[in-house]
Chains A and B, each alone.
Chain A
Amino acid sequence: MAAAQVSVSNLHLVINNKSILTDMSFSIEQGQFLGLIGPNGAGKSSLLRCLYRFQDQTSGTITIDGKNIAEFNRQDYARKVAAVLQEIPSQFNLGVFDVVAMGLTPHKSLFASVSLRDKQAIQEALLKVGLTHKQKQPYESLSGGEKQRVMIARAIVQSPSLLLMDEPTSHLDVKYQIEIMALAKSLGITVVASFHDLNLAAALCDSILVINNGKLVAHGSPQSVVSSSMLAQVFGVNADVTLQQCAEREHAIPHIRYQYQSLQSAINSGTSRSQR
């Protein structure tokens, strides 16, 4: 599992005459953890869809390790790029082990069965996400955090060099949010993840990409990107950003404190205006 180097240049995506992504260019270094942030509907998921080839871009190129992603065949691409999405299977009584084993799909021919080595790989992945003891349970009986960990184990079995995650931690408890992102980070491969929680993104990512209205607004380290002016401009909130020194990290981590008073006054002024 070598880490991949990704570069995106002049990416445009137009769906039904509506421009979803406009002229995006950026690159991700090997082994980096890139966070995507932006308001709802900004184009985070669309960008990820282009990266995992669910959506073909209108123009522009995406290359992985110097090769255009359009040139990969489906199976080869799935061996290189895995994705953890928000889709959750239900009602089909899948066992946890079987869901993790689905990561083998791009590595297997039609007639091949699960070999001893594959079983070992599945066990190792389960161990990594700490769910060895639950492998025989039905997937549906797990908690939200465990379900996402199973999906990550599936991605580990897929042994990709690039992992894409579409808001893998929304609806989860804080503990699991941190756990899952730390788990993804520990894999040592290139990761691109979209975030809902800006503080989490600022704390965990090597670099952050800010998207607004389908355009790339900022790209850089958390310290340089996360600022109160950016938050006001892109997210429309008033917030203070302080830098926190962290013992294990060489850089300070930006910490966001939202100003709820000003929000309240904004609402009040809005209602008073409408009353007038």
Chain B
Amino acid sequence: MRFAASNVLLLVCLFSFVCSLSIGAVQVDFYDVWLALWSYDNTQLAQKIVIELRLPRAVLAFLAGAGLATAGLILQTVTRNPLADPYLFGISSGASFGVVLLLTLFGVQSGLAMSGAALLGSICAMSLLLLIAYHKGTAQIENMLLAGVALSFLFNAFTSLLLYWSDPQAVSAIIFWSLGSFSRADWAWMWLPSVVVISGLVIVICFRRHLNALLLGDESAVTLGVNVHRLRLGMLLVSSLLTAVLVAACGGVGFVGLMIPHIVRFFISQARVLGMVVTALSGGLLMLWVDVIARIIIENQELPIGVITAAIGSVFFLSLLMFRKRTASI
């Protein structure tokens, strides 16, 4: 039955994918989507919209959702804190700082340069975090969380300072960037998030037993033959890389990394491969629809992704907490 459920999820994902290609400012019917996917004719406007505008967006949205959900799952597991989230560790603050620095110092506003700056900024934040957390050779979870929160405040302080000095145009560009959007999606660099997200997922599935052993506690994990420090460092690197690349590609998209693993955990025991796959798929599914909503909810205008994810996420989360019944899991 559980496998049936996951098959249904897979089908829903495929269906949503096609929907997201068809729905938009210009309605493209399913037949044209089908034609565009299987026998692309670049003289047809409808097919051109599907392949060159909507498909990269949909792929990026799915990758971002799946990747952030996986990063959240990793962080929640290695910190044994169900409220950990990829943004808690200052990675996105580092990315924003990188972008702001680029805009204020060089005045560059091209999408690719902003993504590059965001990647550099988040890698910088991530290295600082790992350096601080591991500087005595032992990474206590509490130290790591505190260091992450402190770093995120530090970067936010720098960002605010730079914003205070920059002109209003740059400020609005930065705000739009930091609220997240898939509009910069481009086939030219899509390989980077694809490779990172897919390999991240494969690594998580390979090391699932070790990750789950961490849930028992550090000492119990050691008695199960797990090299706790190295595993935690490696997994932090994986989740940071996922977050860094995705934040660079689509700006700040909050709440997915925190919310999706949490929701999936209500229904499926985390110790199963299925739980991990479902987490990634649900994250992707959510983002696909969020992107559709962002594109169509206001005519001729695009809403920032971060606003919608935060709104949906918090409402869904609160209702789940209120109406949740304590029944048997699995």
Contacts and interface: CB of A to CB of B under 8 A. Distances in A.
Given A87-B219, A95-B329, A105 B269 contact: no
Contacts of B220: 83, 85, 87
Interface stretch (B41-49, B186-194, B204-212): B204-212
Contacts of B80: 89, 92
Q: Could you say which interface size class chain A belongs to? A: 35 or more
A93 B269 contact: yes
A75 B223 CA distance: 9
Given A87-B216, A108-B209, A92 B270 contact: yes
A56 to B, nearest CB: 11
B330 A74 contact: no
- Most chain B CB within 10 A, of A102, A110, A138, is at A102
Contacts of B209: 102, 104-105, 108
A106 B224 contact: yes
B224 A92 contact: no
Contact of B225 (A77, A99, A101, A164): A77
A49 B77 CA distance: 23
Given A111-B206, A138-B328, A94 B224 contact: no
A82 interface: yes
A92 B84 CA distance: 13
Given A54-B222, A92-B265, A137-B328, A98 B213 contact: no
Given A92-B82, A94-B271, A95-B269, A53 B216 contact: no
A104 B209 CA distance: 8
A136 B226 contact: no
A94 B273 CA distance: 13
B330 A85 contact: no
B217 interface: yes
Contacts, number: 101
Given A87-B217, A93-B329, A74 B271 contact: no
Give chain A's interface secondary structure class: mixed
Contact of B213 (A88, A105, A136, A138): A105
Contacts of A83: 219-220, 223
B63 to A, nearest CB: 24
A169 interface: no
B215 interface: yes
Contacts of A17: none
Nearest to A98: B271
Nearest to A91: B82
Interface string A94-122: 11011101111110101101000000000
A92 B215 contact: yes
A177 B45 CA distance: 75
Contacts of A111: 206
A52 interface: yes
Given A74-B226, A98-B212, A111-B206, A89 B269 contact: no
Given A91-B82, A92-B82, A92-B270, A105 B329 contact: no
Contacts of A102: 209, 212-213, 216, 224, 271
B125 to A, nearest CB: 27
Contacts of A137: 328-329
Top 8 nearest A-B pairs (CB, nearest first) are: A87-B217, A78-B225, A98-B271, A106-B225, A95-B269, A83-B223, A110-B206, A105-B224
Given A54-B218, A98-B269, A105-B213, 10 more contacts: A52-B222, A54-B219, A85-B220, A89-B80, A92-B270, A94-B212, A95-B269, A95-B330, A101-B271, A164-B223
